[in-house]
Amino acid sequence: MKKLQFSAIAFTFAMSATAQAATVLTVSSWVPPGHLLSVAQAEWCDMLAKKTSGDLRCNILPKAPMPAPGTVDGVKKGLVDISFAVHGYTPGRFVATQMAELPFLGDSATSISVAFNRIAQRYPAFDAEHDKQGVKVLAYFTHGPGMILNTKKDIAKVDDLQGLKFRIGGGMVNEISKRLDMNVTLKPAPASYELLSTGVMDGTLFPAESTDSFKIGKLIKYATTLPGGLYNTSFAFMINPDTYAKLSDSQRKAVDSMSGEFAARHFGQAWDKADATSMENMRKNGVKITAASPAMISDVTVRIGKLERDWVAQAEAAGLKNAGQALREFRAEIAKQ
């Protein structure tokens, strides 16, 4: 009996020591818990815990300790160990990543995200931008093709955009909007419902998924789609560098195996699935969905013609050598998917 009791005590002690030895990563999301990004990040954490047999786990905070535009700095300062950020929410800090925000790149978040990571691995300037900001990138990804959403009227040509006020997230989409002579205001995505429901804004530029995620599906009356998307938004899935450095060799190996293309594909597939569901919901809600005509596409193409050349010049000045070649390789990688 005493031997049995001793064994039970030893087992309990061993389990306690194992639990204490586990590394817990503080993780946050600035979108609602049910948003695909929050869900996909939580799934990634679950996979990490399973891969390390519980040696590396996540504590997902119920609320982000910083607003969306402060995510990069929050990770840098160690307010959280892991989170994701929109590059465009911090204007002026990231140039190379705007490559993934150009118009007409593709109709799948998965293909663009996977290609994005492959190019970032070839060209050190992408990681260097983030190193300078004090964060380590685990993966790069984008949302699905951006479309024009509004509460007022059908947008069948570029001139129809006049007289409407749009919320945008910043980054390359800001430059696209300027060339289309749009009246825009830079605000984070979670502000969309209030802006649209109160009439402060008439519309927003979003992927389909966002109509459900930010509960604007019944506010939006009109949607205009363009092949390959009018724009995309670039994201970084990040970890605090000091946190990463303190991981054991086996823990870092596990994180590395689940970073890059693995994580990009995970987030991209989640977004594609959500986009498809939200497009169907828009149809059910009676949203008039207009596919841009060849004339409208041509007009947009002419107006944004200088964007790529401008980006190439800016990216090379910021340290991305052969930016034009990087962009060509990026498009070729998207086409492979």
In a domain, 184, yes or no: yes
303 with 202, same domain: the answer is yes
- What is the number of other CB atoms lying within 10 angstroms of the CB of residue 279? 21
In a domain, 15, yes or no: no
For the chain, 337 residues long, give each residue's pLDDT as a single digit of tens.
Answer: 444 444 444 433 444 444 457 999 999 999 999 999 999 999 999 999 999 999 999 999 999 999 999 999 999 999 999 999 999 999 899 999 999 999 999 999 999 999 999 999 999 999 999 999 999 999 999 999 999 999 999 999 999 999 999 999 888 999 999 999 999 999 999 999 999 999 999 999 999 999 999 999 999 999 999 999 999 999 999 999 999 999 999 999 999 999 999 999 999 999 999 999 999 999 999 999 999 999 999 999 999 989 999 999 999 999 999 999 999 999 999 999 8
Encoded tokens for 66: 């910083």
Return the H-helix or E-strand segment holding 138: strand 136-142
Question: What is residue 194's DSSP assignment?
Answer: H
Q: How many domains does the chain divide into?
A: 2
In a domain, 12, yes or no: no
In a domain, 162, yes or no: yes
In angstroms, the CA 218 to CA 211 distance is 8
238 with 227, same domain: the answer is no
Helix, strand, coil percent content, the chain, rounded in steps of 5: 50, 15, 30
Beta partners for 223? 149, 289
> Which strands make up the sheet holding 56-60, listed edge to edge?
56-60, 23-27, 82-86, 234-239, 136-142
Which residues, at least 6 apart from 26, have a Cβ–Cβ distance to it below 8 Å?
58, 59, 61, 80, 81, 82
75 with 153, same domain: the answer is no
Which residue range forms the structural domain that includes residue 45? Answer: 21-93+110-142+234-274
36 with 25, same domain: the answer is yes
212 with 194, same domain: the answer is yes
302 with 175, same domain: the answer is yes
214 with 326, same domain: the answer is yes
- Which CATH number fits the domain that encloses residue 221? 3.40.190.170
83 with 161, same domain: the answer is no
Last residue of a domain, one of 274, 302, 325: 274
Question: What is residue 161's DSSP assignment?
Answer: G
In a domain, 9, yes or no: no
DSSP string, 42-105: HHHHHHHHHHTTTSEEEEE-SS-SS-GGGHHHHHHHTS-SEEEEEGGGSTTS-SGGGGGGSTT-
41 with 124, same domain: the answer is yes
pTM of the model: 0.90
Last residue of a domain, one of 244, 274, 304: 274
115 with 195, same domain: the answer is no
In a domain, 204, yes or no: yes
In a domain, 103, yes or no: no
39 with 84, same domain: the answer is yes
215 with 76, same domain: the answer is no
